[in-house]
Chains A and B, each alone.
Chain A
Amino acid sequence: MPADTANTGYRGVWVFIEQVGGEVAPVSWELLGAGRQLADALGVELAGVLLGQGVAGLVTEAWAYGADKVYLVEDPVLGPYRTAPYARALVQLVKEYKPEILLLGATSLGRDLSGAVATSLGTGLTADCTSLTIDPETRLLEQTRPAFGGNVMATILCRRHRPQMATVRPRVMPMPSRQEDRRGELVRVDMAFNEAEARAEVIEIIEEKNKAIYLDRAEIIVAGGRGVGSKENFRLLEELAGVLGGTLGASRAAVEAGWLPPEYQVGQTGTTVRPKVYFAIGISGAIQHLVGMQGADVIVAVNNDPQAPIFKIATYGIVGDFREVVPALTAEFHRQLAPGPG
């Protein structure tokens, strides 16, 4: 039986600082911002946990983003991410220092690690949260998350086990401002690792940002529908995607017309995407398309029919012929994103 650990001296809010090759996942800083508010509401300390090799330079960054304390574990075995040694390190830290809340980003790495850690600790884990608040009476963490593909929201509690663990969706919590001279405490923890416990060896990591198979991970998608009219016309969309470092996407109608291969299809029978910006060009907004893209932060619709249903859910719409609007967008992005003198 996982022990009842609610009232056994667990205190403080922790944020796992996710880094790969010394590059921090921005969600970690977002979580320090969210964690700061939780810690203040509880009147406790906010700490960051940093695991890796040669990452001590990031400690001041964590302080600058709001951590009062940083737990640092460095070892060559923690260089490339492998689940087992990372999980063991985090579990050991939790057992020793007993935080009441532990937050991780809901990235591939964060979800891979958190599931292992929560199981070892025998505590509850709430997935992919979009809101975190403290119930002032019980001091419990109220963890709200979408389920059923975003059709349902649920608020989850972990009443009797500590730490209360959650992964949090990137880009939901605001990025806190960086306080240049803010300093905190550093707790360096020594642990012994051996390469064999990693059980795995990373052979290679291949960057492939703009490929259609990464549609579900793409940050900017320029999608076209039947209204684009031909394969040749997709060139205009490709140019827009090009200035933004984005990926093309398509409605089923465009795929069925043979303008783009099936792996580009967004929607119920295609890929579910959650980019920062989704451009829907010449797409009417059928429900089967919407379920695949309504999780985008910003939706921009371009359509010559002002009555098109896509405009109801689009953050911004432009009514017009895409053959004029899309090149104008490309030119404007070129102009406004050009590296200026400042």
Chain B
Amino acid sequence: MLQMVVCVKQVPDTAEVRIDPRTNTLVRAGVPAIINPFDAHAVEAAVRLKEKYGGRVTALSMGPLQAEEVLRRALGMGADRAILLTDRAFAGSDTLATSYILARAIEALSRETPVDLVFCGKQAIDGDTAQVGPGIATRLGFTQLTYCMAIDAVDLEQGYIQVQRKLEGKREIIRGRLPALLTVVKDLNELSYLSLPALIRAALATITTWNKDNLDLDPAQIGLKGSPTSVRRIFAPPARPGGEIIPGEPRAAAATLVARLVQMKIIADK
């Protein structure tokens, strides 16, 4: 029986987020909110482990009330219950504060039944930091296994999990002690189709909400106050320079281009 928690974040579909060049503010109007794509794979992984080893999957999200939607999505995918952490005092949390709040919630769940595995996405596609997973692992003292692309085995008796981590041009096979926190990449699995009955059940399910008082949090560690980093300004990225057409017939143009690239040392001599 594996006790598993999956952290899911609601994010804007970032392909459509833009900066208003006059005001330098984010234009989010009309941008659809979705489940962070990596987190969907994390839910899938947990549900598959449950099918194999038995256990329970709890989906956990911190965000405004509308983040309920991503929790329903997780329930539709097979999570057993969902908890939304929502409080105005959480607003403005950076990754240090976010990992504090999520870790406290997981500790609360562990007091019911000890948690064996926590899943996070590799990173959220809005904040893009990849820092919340390691933050939670550190706070809980769990084995930290990032960039998981395969789960080879879980052995509850021996108390370990073996995974494959996706590194630069290589994969690392590593066996870590339970409890562990995994952050996952999309290669880990293919998402299953959602069945209609499951979706209906998810739509009707009750979602537990916890606020700051339910979690007995130190007010100095949450929200803006608990966040050592602050965003001084945001702006649009500089336009890509480019557009240079190399003239000449194919062979001559190819020779010029290759000479340029070789000179830039961007393609290494072998």
- Which residue numbers of A lie inside 8 Å of B, CB to CB? 1-2, 83-84, 87, 107-109, 111-112, 114-116, 118-120, 122-128, 142, 146-161, 199-209, 213-214, 217-218, 220, 244-245, 268, 276-277, 288, 291, 294, 297-300, 306, 311-321, 324-325, 328-329, 331-333, 336-337, 339
Contacts and interface: CB of A to CB of B under 8 A. Distances in A.
A337 B125 CA distance: 38
Contacts of A116: 134-135, 137-138, 144
Contact of B250 (A156, A299, A324): A324
A126 B145 CA distance: 21
A298 B96 contact: no
B177 A207 contact: no
Contacts of B244: 315-317
A118 B170 contact: no
Given A204-B173, A217-B168, 10 more contacts: A119-B135, A119-B138, A124-B96, A147-B127, A156-B232, A201-B175, A203-B174, A204-B172, A205-B171, A320-B250
- 10 pairs of A and B residues whose beta carbons are closest in the complex: A115-B134, A124-B228, A328-B254, A127-B129, A124-B229, A1-B220, A332-B258, A200-B176, A161-B228, A119-B138
A119 B134 contact: yes
B236 A332 contact: no
A48 B249 CA distance: 50
Nearest to B235: A153
A10 to B, nearest CB: 13
B133 A115 contact: yes
Contacts of B237: 146, 150-153
A316 B261 CA distance: 10
A317 B245 CA distance: 5
B131 interface: yes
Nearest to B228: A124
Interface string B157-180: 000001001111111111111000
Interface of B: 12, 14-15, 17-19, 26, 94-96, 99, 125-135, 137-139, 143-147, 149, 162, 165-177, 187, 218, 220-221, 226-237, 240-246, 249-251, 253-255, 257-262, 264, 266-267, 269-270
Contact of B258 (A202, A203, A297, A333): A333
Contact of A154 (B135, B234, B245, B255): B234
A300 B257 contact: yes
18 contacts: A111-B134, A111-B146, A115-B133, A116-B135, A148-B128, A149-B15, A152-B235, A154-B234, A154-B235, A158-B230, A203-B162, A203-B175, A298-B266, A311-B243, A314-B243, A318-B250, A336-B258, A339-B270
Given A111-B146, A112-B146, A127-B129, A152 B135 contact: no
A244 B266 CA distance: 11
Contacts of B169: 207-209, 214, 217-218
B118 to A, nearest CB: 14
A83 B90 CA distance: 28
A297 B237 CA distance: 15
A173 to B, nearest CB: 15
B17 to A, nearest CB: 5
A337 B269 contact: yes
B221 A1 contact: yes
B266 A297 contact: yes
Contacts of A209: 169-170
